[in-house]
Structure 1
Amino acid sequence: MNTLENKKSENNNPFRQTKFTRSSNSQKIRNSFSQFSQEELAAKKEIVSIAGRLLRIRNFGNLLFADLADQAGIIQLKVGKNKDFAELGIGDIIGVKGVICKTDKGELSVEVQEFVLLSKCLRSLPDIHYGFNDTEERFRKRYLDFLINAEKKDILVVRHQVIQSIRHWLDQKEFVEIETPILVSEASGAQAKPFVTHHNKLHRDFYLRIATEIPLKKLLVGGFEKVYEIGRIFRNEGIDARHNPEFTTIEIYQTYENAEYMMNLTEELFHYLAAKVLKREEFAFNSHPVNLVQSFRRLAMVDAIKEYAGIDFTQINDLTAALEMAAQHNLKLAKFQKTIGQIILAFFEEYVEKKLIQPTFIYDYPVEVSPLAKSKPENEKIADRFELYIGGLEFANGYSELNDPIEQKKRFAEQARQKALGNEEIASFDKEFIEALEYGMPPAGGLGIGIDRLIMLFTGQNSIKEVIAFPQLRSKEKVSENFE
């Protein structure tokens, strides 16, 4: 280490440093010593070793002041006039040994006795006050975003805490987390266009999974009764404020339960995370205050359309009337949407979805748009399915799982027909899943929740990019690299 008494530089290569032993960090220092006065700290002579990145250096005659940032926060360094320290630059990573003190202005600091350069910053950092002029560039160089915008880094800390708490909550309920394949032979379990990859040694194509549903339900066939997985999902879809081609979901399955049970489980989980983990009852989301303490509203899809759009689909019993209603409202329908169920969903998405601000369960989906869900016993055209909407955005999807292999085969055949009509998001005809169902799967309830959107809600973010460490971006038109 360079001492303040030894002004001669050691000329060590900083990139050869392998270790620096720390005794504390910025947050621990603030928590333990903020309450003491300048005189009390001078009497204590508390010595600490800390490390971090220099973000600001200020010269005041015989004193230098610098801001040292670590993962926990920022602490000020106080340095007597020192040539070697003055040669350090913004962005350099250093290790420091010094005494905890307070300046004459009352700022908690570490008075540096020794320091060592651990890594040299060879490029200029963005201005800590003005940040990035280009938002796209901020996401492209996310590591710099985290360096100069501590609140962005805090989002990922909340993400970690939420996921950790979900696991703990499910563990208490005796669920088992099981990892399922990412490379799959069939892209099934959801309606989405998959990514395709090729395995050279096996001489075959694979899909990146679009859902974890099918393998988790195979586990139910295998005798597991309460399973879940938190994992990465890949869908070859557009990129916008609410969608990223790779994202994280949790899927939960419990045998001998149904959609109503999973709806109750969903609400219980949201209440738990709000009250016990984040300790807040209301969140600002999409410019609206959202309350997660009150009971969530529950509304059938056709009732929601009647309430928000003034259209009563209980009085529309044939396809011709439904098509006329769509035409009257200038609702554009693709070829595969020429069914009553598809038209009902189209009206819901156009006129209702964005208006569901407070937590609302929409249930009783048309069976045509719910190929993996059981029909309700009293009406085979209605799926025993629900989705949770908050701030105009879908957060959860659940249903009573279809376990009839004959009916599931018919549903897959209908999906194949829709694909032929141009629906690119139709899942594969999964013969292996049909075979698994033929061995018998218990009745079960299933639930899927988008983790990224959940973090958007809890951190008040309007873009999914903010809650993913390294979101996918469109490529630059021209890429140039400077290796000088």
Structure 2
Amino acid sequence: MDTQMSELNELMKARRNKLEALYAKGINPFGQRYDRTHSCTEIVEKFDELEGKKVSIAGRVMAKRIHGKAGFAHIQDMSGQVQIYARVDDLGEGYELFESLDIGDIIGIKGEVFRTRKGEITVACKELVMLCKSLRPLPEKWHGLRDVELRYRQRYIDLIVNPEVKEVFVLRSKIITAIREFLNSKGFLEVETPTMHPIPGGANARPFITHHNALDMDLYLRIALELHLKRLLVGGFEKVYEIGRIFRNEGISTKHNPEFTMLELYQAYADYEVMMELVEEMIAYIAEKVLGTLKISYQGEEIDLTPPWERISMLGAIEKYTGIDFSAVNSEKDLKEIAEKFDIEIKKPFSKGKLINEVFEKEVEPRLIQPTFVLDYPIEISPLAKRKEDNPELTYRFEGFIGTFELANAFSELNDPIDQRKRFEEQARMREAGDEGAHAMDEDFLKALEYGMPPAGGLGIGIDRLVMVLTDCPSIRDVILFPTMRLRE
């Protein structure tokens, strides 16, 4: 390590010396505005019309080789790379600048497009401008680097040297654009709601806490978008959505980042059946629009996104994969035996609904490869969803799964303020018993419901997980530009 640091320091010292040399020659090492006529990729793609013509391009030097009084380099911009050719006869004193270039420097080039004898499309430099002197060398062995944590910490280098990483984030942007296009075409209105809440609500999760000095009050970074959007249904909006950042003070894994992006939408006079149809149609639209196909590969599994997706009840899925019929299990003794069978820790407050969910997550989720809607969740874990009329222990709620990931969560929304208050009270008892993620009492939301909220369907989709599946990335940190990382000691 000491040897590596010593070598790095020597390389940086050499670059600082080159920086001073540029200043001594009256050259600004950090440049000004530079007007380009084409991107690097356009030079290659439009060679037939650009051959012999003058162009202006700019980018980062990624490779360089000198052959006496002439040399070649590859420069890279957002679109890709192109080769440039420099020689003393064309650049005069400017050739010294070309010779002094380091990998990583950003330059501007004016020149003519031609093809070399080996067939490579190239720009012959007639003018060379330094736009930014790189003072720190790029890692030589970055490509294929196994230290993925270092790539996450220094994403800017990852993006420079690994074009496939950049493509993931280009696709992420296109996916979010396609979501907006789809929802706008369906008459949904995009809105913005507060990020800081006086009461954390809309999900079972631990919040981050901050303090507002002027108001001398604690506030919570939002753990969901739900309750403010439902207030808008009370106010008369009928189709609303928000794409926003969510913050949950919980663990980090390949599926979880404390800060993530969520789509939530609400449609008055709809239910969870409408939401299922919307999810199928929207994800199919996104895949077709962005990828050009409904058949994708995720971590070696071929997945068909074509609607309709499979539908199965939560209890039916558990019985299918474990043989246990929870509808016939009621005694605490039997429930504890099931917990022991699947090595599930019994945490207080204990309930049948929670155990059902834990068995499902452990035994069923890993088997849900193809797009699947799992329906009718226990009421204990669904405090904001309507009860099923034929079974009040269950709710009109579904989750959508692809590639073992839960991507979507939706309800027929509870609009009965009396039932909602009872649910909140039960959640409050669970909090007092030690469940930090249980829902808090929200009197203002209850007051809004008392004015009347129309029956509605509500939906949440994790944008990061959707991007993971559509770009075949194994970790959520692969699709978040700057994921949360532990500070280095």
**TM-score bin, normalised by smaller chain:** over 0.9
- Work out whether 1:74 is the aligned partner of 2:78: no
CA distance in 2, matches of 1:403, 1:427: 17
CA distance in 1, matches of 2:120, 2:212: 59
Counterpart in 2 of 1:63? Answer: 70
Counterpart in 1 of 2:365? Answer: 353
- Stretches of structure 2 that go unaligned for 5 or more consecutive residues are 1-22, 89-94
> Match of 2:376, SS?
strand
Counterpart in 1 of 2:429? Answer: 417
> Aligned match of 1:276 in 256, 280, 289?
289
Q: Give 1:342 shift.
A: 1.5
Q: Give 1:427 shift.
A: 2.7
- Amino acid in the other structure paired with 1:457: V
- Work out whether 1:327 is the aligned partner of 2:334: no
- Amino acid in the other structure paired with 2:113: I
> Aligned match of 2:480 in 462, 468, 481?
468
- Work out whether 1:301 is the aligned partner of 2:308: no
Give a deviation string over 1:150-183, Cα, whole Å, max 9, x none.
1101111000001001101111111000000001
- Amino acid in the other structure paired with 1:324: E
Counterpart in 1 of 2:6? Answer: none
CA distance in 2, matches of 1:288, 1:420: 44
CA distance in 1, matches of 2:104, 2:258: 33
Divergent runs of 4+, >6 A: none
Q: Give 1:457 shift.
A: 0.5
Q: Give 1:259 shift.
A: 0.5
- Amino acid in the other structure paired with 2:70: L
Counterpart in 2 of 1:482? Answer: none
Q: Give 1:327 shift.
A: 3.0
What TM-score comes out, normalization by structure 2 length? 0.91
* Conserved? CA contact 1:126–1:132, under 8 Å: no
* Conserved? CA contact 1:388–1:397, under 8 Å: yes
Q: Give 1:367 shift.
A: 0.9
CA 1:11–1:134 in structure 2 vs 1: closer, same or farther (change >3 Å)?
farther
* Conserved? CA contact 1:367–1:375, under 8 Å: yes
- Work out whether 1:21 is the aligned partner of 2:21: no
Q: Give 1:129 shift.
A: 6.1
- Stretches of structure 1 that go unaligned for 5 or more consecutive residues are 1-7, 478-484
- Amino acid in the other structure paired with 1:269: M
Task: Trace 1:345-424 onto structure 2 (pairs within 5 A).
Answer: 345-424=357-436
CA distance in 1, matches of 2:141, 2:117: 25
Counterpart in 2 of 1:163? Answer: 176
Q: Give 1:195 shift.
A: 0.3
Identity over the aligned pairs, expressed in percent? 48
Counterpart in 1 of 2:164? Answer: 151
Q: Give 1:470 shift.
A: 0.6
* Conserved? CA contact 1:55–1:69, under 8 Å: yes
CA 1:394–1:343 in structure 2 vs 1: closer, same or farther (change >3 Å)?
same
Counterpart in 1 of 2:44? Answer: 30
Give a deviation string over 1:264-293, Cα, whole Å, max 9, x none.
100111111122321123222233222112
Counterpart in 2 of 1:86? Answer: 99
CA distance in 2, matches of 1:342, 1:131: 42
Counterpart in 2 of 1:54? Answer: 61
Counterpart in 2 of 1:219? Answer: 232
RMSD over aligned Cα atoms: 1.6
Give a deviation string over 1:357-384, Cα, whole Å, max 9, x none.
1111000101111000001122211100
Pick which of 211-220 and 52-61 moved more: 52-61
Q: Give 1:320 shift.
A: 3.6
Q: Give 1:204 shift.
A: 0.8
* Conserved? CA contact 2:75–2:82, under 8 Å: yes
> Match of 2:356, SS?
helix
Pick which of 427-436 and 363-372 moved more: 427-436
Counterpart in 1 of 2:207? Answer: 194
Give a deviation string over 1:316-374, Cα, whole Å, max 9, x none.
244443233323443222112x2221221121111111111111100010111100000
> Match of 2:46, SS?
helix
What TM-score comes out, normalization by structure 1 length? 0.92
* Conserved? CA contact 1:53–1:93, under 8 Å: yes
Q: Give 1:409 shift.
A: 0.8
* Conserved? CA contact 2:342–2:359, under 8 Å: no
CA distance in 2, matches of 1:187, 1:319: 32
Give a deviation string over 1:394-432, Cα, whole Å, max 9, x none.
000001000111111111111111112221212321111
* Conserved? CA contact 1:356–1:392, under 8 Å: yes
- Amino acid in the other structure paired with 2:265: I
> Match of 1:372, SS?
coil
Q: Give 1:128 shift.
A: 6.1
Q: Give 1:256 shift.
A: 0.1
Give a deviation string over 1:126-151, Cα, whole Å, max 9, x none.
12664545221111111011000111
- Work out whether 1:265 is the aligned partner of 2:278: yes
